[in-house]
């Protein structure tokens, strides 16, 4: 690859616009192709503390704060009546002890407007890409180049795919993907009048079937259900009917939403846990969801999308011989480690740990271990667990071998599979 000076970014979401800003600051000639996001609500509203240092570096934390709710922690419900709250402050470590719950349209606009203020050129149209015939090299189609007045004076040196789940380049080049085991769907809407949440933690519920989130936004609560589609098919023919009927039929959701009113349509997302097996090619590279996305249980998506942008900007350096192989390795490893944490939710081991902790709190050992356990569990929700080798190792031990050993010694009376998410 020749020295990179000009960059075309496909997709004006958080990853694409954060990257555009960072590259503009480094002096690259950069343009973003964007499509206006028109849905009335966009999923991905809860941030993790790990994103805050990047929002500060971008210079937008105050703006984000102005329209969001302040999120001091996460609450996990093993069932309708059993809750474990993790204030981020318990995680210790180097991250701020808070995050925000963000109305996504506002958040995306903040990152987009920032790029505009920094002088990034925005093209309000889809970028059409084609193969050049030289290996996996890509180019902007002639129509696209004409439509942007030959902005790059030829072809850009690098094309970045930040098109999110559209995965523009991966689809064009048929790049193999690794998908997860689960084939769930998510249905979500914004409601008013539901059970108030204070302080504004995200609430995650293990349900009899699937799981759900409650995210307190200003004046509304975002309520989403992640569930195997088979569980919904008899509940109605439209997604609205299925969502409304599920809320009424599920004991936990009924408890928290009985007085609620749905203020928006219901949006459906499917397709979970998908990682592209290649993240770069001759003159292109992937970032954000376009490279891979995980089940949203721990709200890692926006953090990973923006972190990917920071990483890509770092690897691009001054444009001379970026080590894309290493970039790919780091991106994939990070997704893999998060995925391992996600698995502890679905397998039931996280809930078993909670139950065992409750059972053992009356013993001296239980009381001694509880704060340590709480600290590292909290780090799952702040994003820090993935980046500290000790937390990673500790969590692997306590959600795996430790539970097995305790069962052998009759100190754990719970079967992990009984607490799995169905």
Ligand X SMILES: Cc1cc2nc3c(=O)[nH]c(=O)nc-3n(C[C@H](O)[C@H](O)[C@H](O)COP(=O)(O)OP(=O)(O)OC[C@H]3O[C@@H](n4cnc5c(N)ncnc54)[C@H](O)[C@@H]3O)c2cc1C
305 near ligand X, judged by CB under 6 A: yes
As measured in angstroms, the least distance from the Cβ of 321 to ligand X is 26
Place of tokens 């409304």: 244
As measured in angstroms, the least distance from the Cβ of 246 to ligand X is 15
166 near ligand X, judged by CB under 6 A: yes
Q: In 328-343, which positions are buried (b, 16+ CB within 10 angstroms) versus exposed (e)? A: bebbbebbeebbebbb
Range 7-36, binding ligand X (CB under 6 A)? 10-16, 33-35
DSSP 304-350: HHHHHHHHHHHHHTTSSS--HHHHHHHHHHHHHHHHHHHHHHHHSHH
For residues 194 and 287, which CB has a smaller minimum distance to ligand X in the complex? 287
Give the range of 294-302, 323-331, 354-362, 412-420 binding ligand X by CB under 6 A: 294-302
170 near ligand X, judged by CB under 6 A: no
Give the range of 162-170, 192-200, 321-329, 410-418 binding ligand X by CB under 6 A: 162-170
296 near ligand X, judged by CB under 6 A: yes
Range 205-234, binding ligand X (CB under 6 A)? 224
Range 104-143, binding ligand X (CB under 6 A)? 126-127
289 near ligand X, judged by CB under 6 A: yes
Which class for 371: exposed (0-12), middle (13-18), buried (19 or more C-beta within 10 A)?
A: exposed
184 near ligand X, judged by CB under 6 A: no
235 near ligand X, judged by CB under 6 A: no
Q: Angle at the Cα of 307 (from 394 to 106), degrees rounded to 5?
A: 115
Site string for ligand X, 45-84 (x = CB under 6 A): xxx-------------------------------------
Using Cβ positions, the residue closest to ligand X within the complex turns out to be: 13
**C-beta neighbour count of 262 within 10 angstroms:** 18
For residues 33 and 246, which CB has a smaller minimum distance to ligand X in the complex? 33
DSSP 220-283: EEEEEEEEEGGGTGGG-SSHHHHHHHHHHHSHHHHHHHTT-EE-S--EEEE--SEEES--B-SS
91 near ligand X, judged by CB under 6 A: no
Range 324-383, binding ligand X (CB under 6 A)? none
Round to whole Å and give the CA distance between 11 and 222: 25
Which class for 374: exposed (0-12), middle (13-18), buried (19 or more C-beta within 10 A)?
A: middle
Q: Angle at the Cα of 205 (from 217 to 108), degrees rounded to 5?
A: 35
44 near ligand X, judged by CB under 6 A: yes
Residue ranges in contact with ligand X by CB under 6 A: 10-16, 33-35, 37, 43-47, 126-127, 162-166, 168, 186, 224, 269, 288-289, 293, 296, 299, 301-303, 305
């Amino acid at each position: 690859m020749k020295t990179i000076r000009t960059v075309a970014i496909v997709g004006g979401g958080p990853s694409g616009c954060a990257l555009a800003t960072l590259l503009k600051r480094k002096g690259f000639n950069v343009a973003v192709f964007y499509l206006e996001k028109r849905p009335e609500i966009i999923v991905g509203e809860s941030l993790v503390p790990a994103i805050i240092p990047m929002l500060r570096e971008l210079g937008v934390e105050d703006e984000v704060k102005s329209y969001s709710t302040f999120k001091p922690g996460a609450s996990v419900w093993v069932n309708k009546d059993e809750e474990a709250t993790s204030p981020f402050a318990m995680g210790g470590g180097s991250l701020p002890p808070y995050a925000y719950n963000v109305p996504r349209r506002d958040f995306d606009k903040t990152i987009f407007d920032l790029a505009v203020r920094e002088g990034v050129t925005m093209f309000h149209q889809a970028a059409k890409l084609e193969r050049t015939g030289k290996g996996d090299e890509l180019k902007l189609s002639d129509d696209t180049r004409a439509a942007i007045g030959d902005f790059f004076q030829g072809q850009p040196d690098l094309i970045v795919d930040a098109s999110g789940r559209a995965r523009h380049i991966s689809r064009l080049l048929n790049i193999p993907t690794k998908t997860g085991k689960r084939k769930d769907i998510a249905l979500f809407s914004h409601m008013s009048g539901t059970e108030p949440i204070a302080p504004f933690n995200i609430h995650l519920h293990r349900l009899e079937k699937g799981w759900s989130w409650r995210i307190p936004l200003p004046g509304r609560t975002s309520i989403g259900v992640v569930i195997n589609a088979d569980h919904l098919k008899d509940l109605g023919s439209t997604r609205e009917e299925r969502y409304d009927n599920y809320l009424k039929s599920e004991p936990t959701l009924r408890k928290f939403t009985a007085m609620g009113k749905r203020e928006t349509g219901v949006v459906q997302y499917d397709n979970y846990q998908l990682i592209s097996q290649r993240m770069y090619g001759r003159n292109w590279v992937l970032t954000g969801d376009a490279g891979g996305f995980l089940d949203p249980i721990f709200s890692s998506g926006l953090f990973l999308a923006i972190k990917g942008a920071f990483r890509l900007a770092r690897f691009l350096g001054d444009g001379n011989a970026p080590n894309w192989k290493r970039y790919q390795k780091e991106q994939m490893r990070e997704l893999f480690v998060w995925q391992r944490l996600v698995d502890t939710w679905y397998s039931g081991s996280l809930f078993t740990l909670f139950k065992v902790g409750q059972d053992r709190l009356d013993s001296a050992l239980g009381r001694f271990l509880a704060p340590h356990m709480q600290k590292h569990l909290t780090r799952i929700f702040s994003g820090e667990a993935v980046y500290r080798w000790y937390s990673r190792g500790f969590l692997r031990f306590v959600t795996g071998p430790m539970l097995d050993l305790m069962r052998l010694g009759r100190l754990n009376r719970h079967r992990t599979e009984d607490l799995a998410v169905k």
